[in-house]
Amino acid sequence: MRFMSSLSSSIADLRKSYERAELSESASNANPFQQFDQWLQEALRAEVPEPNAMTVATVGGDIRPSTRIVLIKGYDERGIVWYTNYDSRKGQQLAGNPFAALQFHWVELERVVRIEGRVEKVSAEESDAYFASRPLDSRIGAWASPQSQVISGRSVLVANAAKYSAQFLLNPPRPPHWGGFRLVPDRWEFWQGRKSRLHDRLRYTQEGDTWMRERLAP
């Protein structure tokens, strides 16, 4: 295999100094949910690209981790919610092992949030309400795509979409295999890039009803 060796050596030379902001014990929130709320709102205000995109890591029965990107669709003191196909690879992995990790990277703000915990399904009512709020083509898409399964070609999706559009017209119900997951956090980390690689890292771990906040070395 031939790679562009000059390009790969220039990758090794890529370096950025992070100098935009700092994260201190005194200026951060004692509650990680509020700290997350503040940072997500700042990412939205800064109009960073896809501020709502997060990586979800799950671990399968073979003890191998896998990751993919999803969109956060809600959060409150119970946890972080996204929607997907329960029969997908991630859905099957979560059915076998509910522990997962999330990661946001807001590049322009030089910030990362890592969140770990146990995942549960949101209630059927919550999934129904969110499903009903989606555009029609997304609702048909949830029926048309057997997410993570091998298909013989794109035509399968097109044919499925036509079939379900004709079947459900303007009112597709929520597919039984589609809905929300909520990660209930027990560990958070907020990372703020700083100069000279002396980044700020604050980790929150749950201790009974309160959160312990500790600084980690970068």
Q: Which residues bind ligand FMN (CB under 6 A)?
A: 50, 53, 66, 68-71, 82-85, 88-90, 147-148
Least separation in angstroms between residue 194's CB and ligand FMN is 28
Over 4-54, what HEC string results?
CHHHHHHHHHCCCCCCCCCCCCCCCCCCHHHHHHHHHHHHHHCCCCCCCEE
For residues 82 and 71, the answer to whether their CB atoms sit within 8 Å is yes
Catalytic residue among 111, 134, 197, 203: 197
Q: How far apart are CA 181 and CA 194, in angstroms?
A: 34
Catalytic status, residue 197: yes
Nearer to ligand FMN, 23 or 56 (CB): 56
Over 56-77, what HEC string results?
EEEECCCCCEEEEEEECCEEEC
Phi then psi for 140, rounded to 5 degrees?
-65, -40
Q: How far apart are CA 35 and CA 48, in angstroms?
A: 18
Least separation in angstroms between residue 67's CB and ligand FMN is 8
Nearer to ligand FMN, 31 or 55 (CB): 55
Least separation in angstroms between residue 5's CB and ligand FMN is 30
Sign of the alpha-carbon dihedral angle for 47, 49, 52, 58: negative
Nearer to ligand FMN, 24 or 149 (CB): 149
| Number of Cα atoms under 13 Å in the Cβ half of residue 194 | 12
Nearer to ligand FMN, 29 or 146 (CB): 146
Least separation in angstroms between residue 69's CB and ligand FMN is 4
State the catalytic residues: 197
